[in-house]
Amino acid sequence: MSKLNNSFLDEIQEKLQPLNSPEDLVKLGLAGSVKTLANKRSVGTGPDYVRIKGVGIRYPKQSTIDWLKRDTVFVKAS
């Protein structure tokens, strides 16, 4: 993994809570909207999540990091 990848992931990892709402991920810029995350959940391309009765959808920190490692393409500007 490149230095850029590590730097980005380290920064995000510091900002993530143990459990994150869809709104949290949008605020961090990891998804365009809550609806985008709902769509990704429905087709299985988003981060793993838990549904907590009375609370709603939450994304565990490690699942979110794993998703970013799997689905993020880092492009170095020339």
pLDDT band of residue 77 (cuts 50, 70, 90) is: confident
Report the DSSP pairing between strands 56-60 and 50-52.
antiparallel
Angle between helices 3-15 and 61-71 (to 10 degrees): 150
Q: What is the pLDDT of residues 14-35, one digit of tens each?
A: 999 999 999 999 999 999 999 9
Q: What is the pLDDT of residues 50-69, one digit of tens each?
A: 999 999 999 999 999 999 99
| Residue 56 to residue 48: CA distance in whole angstroms | 14
**pLDDT for 76 beyond 90:** no
pTM above 0.75, yes or no: yes
Q: Which two tokens stand for residue 75?
A: 């492009």
